[in-house]
Chains A and B, each alone.
Chain A
Amino acid sequence: MKIVAVTACATGVAHTFMAKRAIEDAAKKRGHEVKVETQGATGIENGLTRKELEEADILILATDIKLARTERFENIKKVTIPVATAIKNANGVIKKIEEKLA
């Protein structure tokens, strides 16, 4: 699968990047392509392009706050989870997505 994700936490730094790493590692371990955008205190980094969003099978929004530029995400299959869930159990989240999309 092609997985794209956006992470954003309330204080905007540590958890945003912990979630990014957790999603990347879990996705790669399960054999998927992955790109994770962060919306943190330093703004949008590693931003998802229109092409990447079009080609993605699923968009994971791991966020505790209101995201920016959500108009990009309108016509994509997506799942929204709390940041803590991504950090603690990214593997379980991706496994569930695999089952749903199979």
Chain B
Amino acid sequence: MVKAKKVEVASSNVGAYQQAKMSLKPRIREFRFSLYLMSKSLLAMIGLVIVLVLVFIAIFAPVLAPGPPGWIEKNPMQIPKDFESPKPPGSPWGAYMQGEGTFTFGSGSLGLDIYYGCVWGARTSIYTAVYVVIVAIIIGIVIGAIAGYFGGIIDEIMMRITDVFLSIPGLILAMAVAAVLGRSLDNIMLALIIVWWPPYARIMRGQVLTIKEGTYVEAAKAVGSKKMRVLFRHIVPNTLSPIIVNATMDLGVVVLVAAGLAFIGFGPPTGYAEWGRMVADGQTYFLSEVEYPAGSGIFYNPWWIWAFPGMFIFLFVMGFNLLGDGLRDILDPRLRR
């Protein structure tokens, strides 16, 4: 019977198209329903808007913050600076910047342009978050799925390994790994991946354990599918909702922890467009006063150095958190209708 169906499909492309359309239809309907549910949740929409704005900022960074002429062609992730002492928001660039412009968010240590750093820092953050979460999910899914599906000694060994990683508080584990590997953004990401995969392995294992007894899994086995095919073709795709919800929230939390690590002194040095590092630079000026314009006798506390990048971190984490919360309500079948 299976054979007959194959022949039929092969004989007519129209048939295949129709079939694909038919099988897609319920998915599209569900997707549209999800969008509808989401549009009804105010907080989720706020989260979505924040996330979209940040993605927009990251994509259009060259337009939003071009820096001095010719700057972004050289090394865009380095923040331009005028080597003068910090200036409040709205003051003009110093002579060293070789261009006309203002420090929209003020300038920091060495005269770093805070606005430029905030805008381009969105790229650093999104890149870090997406990279860490995706790699962690892939590792977690593979290990969790295998442990849950095969059970027995494999399960036992794999779960004890995740226990080990879960028994060290996340930030401290990341710190130890990053310290040993050396200070750079890549090493922070590697350290964060090591911290982030075990929870995914746990979630995945739990999901597989509940789903593997399902009738459709038995059906797949009955027609003679290989174990790996059953696992990654029939079980794994049906376990992804909680993973997606967690991943969305984690995109924010990764940036939170990465910024914390950068704040202590891991990660790229001062001058790189990274929010955590920028806040740390602000701390060095924390209780001091700067005079602007020079010789005028007007003093400011340079709060802008840490407040603007801090606000970006906060918004980033909050956006993904709200979106994740909203997605949980939408994707949870028990709450869905």
| A, B from the same assembly | no
List residues of B whose CB falls within 8 A of some A CB: none
List residues of A whose CB falls within 8 A of some B CB: none
